[in-house]
Amino acid sequence: MSVISSAVLKRRLFETPDERQRLYVVPILDLEGQIRVGQGAIDVRLGTEFIFTRRVQLSHIDPYSGAPEERAQHLKQYQEKIVIGLGSRMILHPQQFAIGGTLEYFRLPLDLAGMVVGRSSWGRLGLVIAMATMVHPGYTGVITLELQNLGDAPIALYPGARIGQIVFYEATGNEGIEFKDLHRGAKYVGAISAGFSRISEDAERERILRFSQHYREASRFLR
């Protein structure tokens, strides 16, 4: 698995006529600053929308309790979205968690995958920007940033500031796949801002219950 160089990234952005191989990233506010010579990554900036967890008088978060529509409503009690304009700042307190997104909107070609990496300058202040770091081939949308302050002092975050990097790698085996095939059933494809958790749409709970029922019925015959 080889890292794509800055020279190849620029060709993929501006000189590739094949739609299946072209990389889209908009906006790029500082081309030379965000795709530096000799580096295999594109710097990304912090977007303007954030999702915070509310401190509510409920015992716990349960994404699998009740019917699907009840689950979604349950999760909304814990989260709220706020907008912080460019030029303003957002304070992330110690141990506080927030979901953000990149200012840039991406469309990866089918032969590239990405990995989100935090900037060391922010990491030295205690900021972690991504726990879910994989960006799949063909992904379209802003990239989610899971922000957490692991330090002991509040950190001021500024929308528009360079917050991390996307490192790109070659991905093989997708020659016969179309973009529509990759996007079918994907929850967060096409996102234009940080999105609420959609884990309530998972069918895992129902599958587990069905398996448990079949297991109990089968166990009666084995006694």
Q: Which residues are catalytic?
A: 146
For residue 10, give the amino acid letter: K
Q: Can you list the positions of beta strands (E) in 35-185?
A: 41-45, 49-53, 79-83, 90-92, 97-107, 112-118, 127-128, 134-135, 140-149, 155-157, 162-170
| Encoded tokens for 93 | 């307190």
Element (H, E) at 24: strand 24-26
| Encoded tokens for 19 | 């739609």
CB 44 within 8 A of CB 101: no
Q: Rounded distance, CA 132 to CA 114, Å?
A: 12
**What value, to the nearest 5°, has the Cα angle with vertex 85 and ends 117 and 76?**
75
Beta-ladder partners of 155: 92
Neighbour count for residue 59 (Cβ, 10 Å): 6
CB 149 within 8 A of CB 102: no
Longest dimension (CA), the chain: 71
